[in-house]
């Protein structure tokens, strides 16, 4: 066997590849712990372009357009802690249970991902081991540490959604995503609906489930944390001024919610 080829299958990330986990303001005082599973669209050098055209690699199938700019601003405004994942969801989706078809998609919306076809179990495992696992291990460790020192923790998973999906325009500006939490999504909806210019989705454009999601079920629900997902429509946060406006709006709303939770002894 050719040693170089054998060696290449041992490791996905090499010299020149960045670490998957990106963190901001780890010492932040806020109870809000922000995550961004689809923050980046970087591809490991070893995977080339996955056989996907550059014009598709900048689309929503590869990442959550605009959410990085919102997350970076919001985390500072709230003095919160952000944990984000830099590699494209086309490499491995950090908000899917490993093993489901959409974890390493061979087709995303209508776009084929040739570099994901016919992968060996070892190749799939390598993506999990080097990207998915470190990201989720870090979130888990941060929650452990916060619990240990009695620091209140409210998990907010940040996402963005495409304005048109399979040709169907989506009317919502923002949506909450949730499953078992009965506290935070209700407060988020109440506050968002108080903003007269917004069309707000209640578990739209997506609802959280154990099969289609990972971060909320595993780090929020299973750990007993108050949690919600937030989805912002991508055309609203394409540029820096949109990202700034949405970060300011969410910071204001989340601060109000924090005050309510505090009053009720929940954060």
**Are 114 and 73 a contacting pair, CB within 8 Å?**
no
Give 64 or 130: the residue with its C-beta nearer to Zn ion: 64
CA distance 95 to 222: 15
Residue 159 interacting with Zn ion (CB under 5 A): yes
Contacts of 162 (CB under 8 A, 6+ apart): 59, 60, 65, 170, 234
Binding-site size for Zn ion (CB under 5 A) equals 3
Residue 136 interacting with Zn ion (CB under 5 A): no
Q: Which of residues 54-113 bind Zn ion (CB under 5 A)?
A: 64
Least distance CB 3 / Zn ion (angstroms): 39
Give 127 or 159: the residue with its C-beta nearer to Zn ion: 159
Give 95 or 116: the residue with its C-beta nearer to Zn ion: 95
Q: At what angle do helices 240-263 and 184-193 cross, to 10 degrees?
A: 120
Least distance CB 89 / Zn ion (angstroms): 7
Task: List beta partners, residue 159.
Answer: 231
Tokens of 29: 């005082």
Give 86 or 258: the residue with its C-beta nearer to Zn ion: 86
The distance in angstroms from the start CA to the end CA of the chain is: 58
Residue with tokens 């407060």: 187
Could you say which of 12, 17, 33, 38 contacts Zn ion (CB under 5 A)?
A: 38
Least distance CB 64 / Zn ion (angstroms): 4
> Where does this chain bind Zn ion (CB under 5 A)?
38, 64, 159
């Amino acid at each position: 066997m050719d040693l170089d080829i054998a060696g290449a299958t041992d490791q996905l990330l090499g010299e020149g590849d960045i670490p998957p986990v990106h963190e901001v303001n780890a010492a932040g005082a806020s109870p809000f712990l922000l995550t961004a599973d689809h923050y980046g669209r970087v591809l490991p050098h070893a995977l080339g372009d996955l056989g996907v055209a550059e014009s598709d690699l900048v689309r929503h199938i590869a990442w959550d357009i605009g959410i990085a700019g919102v997350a970076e601003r919001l985390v500072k405004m709230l003095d919160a802690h952000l944990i984000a994942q830099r590699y494209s969801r086309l490499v491995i989706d950090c908000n899917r249970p490993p093993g489901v078809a959409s974890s390493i998609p061979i087709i995303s919306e209508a776009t084929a991902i040739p570099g994901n076809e016919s992968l060996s179990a070892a190749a799939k495992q390598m993506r999990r081991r080097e990207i998915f696992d470190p990201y989720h291990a870090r979130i888990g460790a941060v929650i452990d540490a916060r619990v240990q020192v009695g620091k209140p923790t409210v998990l907010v998973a940040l996402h963005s959604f495409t304005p048109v999906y399979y040709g169907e325009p989506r009317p919502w500006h923002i949506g909450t995503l949730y499953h078992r939490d009965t506290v935070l999504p209700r407060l988020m909806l109440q506050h968002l609906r108080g903003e007269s210019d917004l069309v707000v989705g209640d578990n739209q454009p997506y609802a959280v489930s154990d099969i289609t999601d990972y971060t909320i079920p595993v780090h929020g629900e299973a750990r007993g944390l108050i949690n919600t997902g937030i989805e912002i429509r991508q055309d609203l946060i394409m540029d820096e001024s949109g990202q700034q406006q949405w970060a300011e709006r969410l910071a204001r709303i989340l601060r109000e919610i924090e005050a309510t939770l505090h009053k009720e002894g929940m954060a």
